[in-house]
Amino acid sequence: MTRRATSLLAALLAAAALAVPSAAQDLKPYDPEDEAEDGTASSLYPVEQLSGIMGELHYIAYACEGAEAQRWRNAMQEMLDLEAPTRGPFRQRLVDSFNQGFRYHQQRRTRCDAEAEVERRRLAIQGRALSETLRREYID
The CA distance from 56 to 106, in Å, is 9
Instruction: Give a yes or no: residue 31 inside a domain.
Output: no
Domain, as residue range, for 121: 46-139
Whole-model pTM: value is 0.71
Instruction: Give a yes or no: residue 96 inside a domain.
Output: yes
b/e burial code for range 19-28 (CB count within 10 A of at least 16 → b): eebeeeeebe
b/e burial code for range 75-104 (CB count within 10 A of at least 16 → b): bbeebbebbbeeeebbbebbbebbbebbee
Total domains, the chain: 1
Instruction: Give a yes or no: residue 1 inside a domain.
Output: no
Residues of the chain with pLDDT under 50: 14-42
pLDDT at 8: 56
Instruction: Give a yes or no: residue 18 inside a domain.
Output: no
pLDDT at 3: 55
Instruction: Give a yes or no: residue 88 inside a domain.
Output: yes
Instruction: Give a yes or no: residue 22 inside a domain.
Output: no
Instruction: Give a yes or no: residue 87 inside a domain.
Output: yes
- Percent of the chain past pLDDT 70, that is, above it, reads 69
User: Considering only CA atoms, which of 60, 46, 43 is closest in space to residue 124?
Assistant: 60
Instruction: Give a yes or no: residue 34 inside a domain.
Output: no
pLDDT at 40: 44
